[in-house]
Amino acid sequence: KQEVTQIPAALSVPEGENLVLNCSFTDSAIYNLQWFRQDPGKGLTSLLLIQSSQREQTSGRLNASLDKSSGRSTLYIAASQPGDSATYLCAVRVQGAQKLVFGQGTRLTINP
Amino acid sequence: GAVVSQHPSWVICKSGTSVKIECRSLDFQATTMFWYRQFPKQSLMLMATSNEGSKATYEQGVEKDKFLINHASLTLSTLTVTSAHPEDSSFYICSARIEGPKRNSPLHFGNGTRLTVT
């Protein structure tokens, strides 16, 4: 059974800092891994999608890496801004299945 | 980009009544949609996979007679919470993936529905 873990559960940093969020999964047989952002009381916004054959994806100040063999992914946020404050979720799509398995999320607070 | 619309965004109902939540893919067709449930400060848990024109596939522990799913068209899936109880109060989110050659395309989510049962 695939399990996804995110560390830390919460993170608070000053504005302008670079930061890394971690995601690990137990079964390396995945189609892809997706990072989402969730604002309080809202749905999910897809940030980055990494296919199992890829090592990283970049979008603006965000960079996501994937090491499938070790079951790890990181989300790097450069030059953080208060508007980046949200909960960040990673999810993997297991091979042979349509559904995503989610981690518990990291609640990020960027202090002005 | 792909947009998934969910309605209503919030609903308050009395215990024993039924509530219907709609999920629409606005600019693409979705043979398959997914219904998730999220408790406060917890992650998303898949409830069921909704298949257009056929029965939904429910995850273990989810009561199919309580959470009725209808996927009548390629752009609409509905979740009906029947005989709602306070413990059904939660945040319900639907999602869909663009079909076709992009088998590994990203999953797009609606904005969720906050259900409160009094």
List, for residues A45-80, the tens digit of each pLDDT value: 999 999 999 999 999 999 999 999 999 999 999 999
Decide: B69 and B8 in contact? Cβ < 8 Å. Answer: no
**What pLDDT score was predicted for residue B106?**
76
Nearest of B5, A96, A56, A80 to residue A88 by alpha carbon: A80
**What pLDDT score was predicted for residue B80?**
97
Pick the more confident residue, A65 or A1: A65
Decide: B90 and B117 in contact? Cβ < 8 Å. Answer: no
**What pLDDT score was predicted for residue B99?**
66
Chain A stretch 14-73, residues whose beta carbon is closer than 8 A to a beta carbon of chain B: 31-32, 34, 36, 41-46, 49, 51
pLDDT in tens, B73-83: 889 999 999 99
Give the strand pairing for B19-25 and B4-7. Answer: antiparallel
Instruction: Note whether A46 contacts B108, CB cutoff 8 Å.
Output: yes
pLDDT for residue A37 is more than 90:
yes
**What pLDDT score was predicted for residue B2?**
67
Of B43, B108, B110, the CB nearest to A103: B43
In chain B, % of residues over pLDDT 70? 93
Torsion of CA B105, A53, B43, A5, to 10 degrees: 180
Mean pLDDT of chain A: 94
Interface test with A, best of B11, B22, B44 (most A CBs within 10 A): B44
Q: Average pLDDT, stretch B101-110?
A: 72
**Three-class SS state of A10:** strand
Which CA distances in Å does A24 have to A21, A58, A62, A75, A83?
A: 10, 19, 18, 11, 26
Q: For chain A, where are the E strands, in sequence order?
A: 4-7, 10-14, 19-25, 30-38, 44-51, 56-59, 62-67, 72-77, 86-94, 100-102, 106-111
Pick the more confident residue, B42 or B84: B84
**Three-class SS state of A96:** coil
The dihedral through the CA atoms of A30, B36, A22, A84 has a sign that is positive
Pick the more confident residue, A96 or B90: B90
**What pLDDT score was predicted for residue A27?**
93
**What pLDDT score was predicted for residue B60?**
92
Phi and psi of B75, rounded to 5°? -125, 5
**CA B98, CA B78: separation in Å to the nearest integer?**
18
